[in-house]
Amino acid sequence: MIHIHRLERYWMITVGIVMGGFMAALVASVLVYGVRLPTPVGRVDPTHLENTDLATPGLTQDSEHAYTLRVVAKMWQFDFGVKGQMPKITLQHGSSLKIVATSKDVTHGFYVEQHNVNMMLVPGQISEMDVVFTKPGIYHIICHEYCGPGHQNMIAVIEVL
């Protein structure tokens, strides 16, 4: 049995507890809090989106409480087929929304207030996330990656009734 100094042993035990705590937090974030990483689900040519599913961005209803939102981010707006400075979609609470998004120019962000949606939209890559809206409210979609002089104008609204 090798000799380990008493203080060194305390130090190793402390490190073990801290590492165990981090591991437990990681497991809890996935199993208890439902944290998911946004997954790259496909690649597209950002200069030829007209040949893809994202040719006509917009909201489609898949079943009674399930929707898909296709979004093309560009300098400096979120395009999902709704005109206006701050485009808006409206859903009933309890609805699930699959977001399928990409960028056609530079890297943008896609963050939904008070929900577990935080994606980078990288040109050439399709990002996808599912979210359920359980509470009525107004939730902004915000670009949280600096993308140029109009960055602060990239904002949209999800209204949950």
Least separation in angstroms between residue 70's CB and ligand CUA is 17
Residue with tokens 């902004």: 140
Q: Which residues contact 73 (CB under 8 A, 6 or more apart)?
A: 79, 101, 102, 103, 104, 108, 110, 121, 143, 154
Q: Alpha-carbon distance 147 to 109, whole Å?
A: 9
Residue 74 or 160 having the CB closest to ligand CUA: 74
Least separation in angstroms between residue 115's CB and ligand CUA is 19
Q: Alpha-carbon distance 89 to 107, whole Å?
A: 23
Least separation in angstroms between residue 117's CB and ligand CUA is 15
Least separation in angstroms between residue 151's CB and ligand CUA is 4
Does 110 qualify as catalytic in the annotation? no
Residue 91 or 154 having the CB closest to ligand CUA: 154
If you compute the radius of gyration of the chain from its CA atoms, what whole number of angstroms results?
21
Catalytic residue from among 22, 80, 110, 133: 80
Residue 22 or 146 having the CB closest to ligand CUA: 146
Q: Which residues contribute to the site for ligand CUA (CB under 6 A)? A: 73, 76, 108-109, 143, 145-147, 151, 154
Residue 122 or 143 having the CB closest to ligand CUA: 143
CB distance 79 to 90 below 8 Å = no
SS3 content of the chain, % helix, strand, coil (to 5): 20, 40, 35
Tell me which H or E stretch contains 19.
helix 6-31
Does 78 qualify as catalytic in the annotation? yes
Indicate which residues carry an active-site annotation.
78, 80
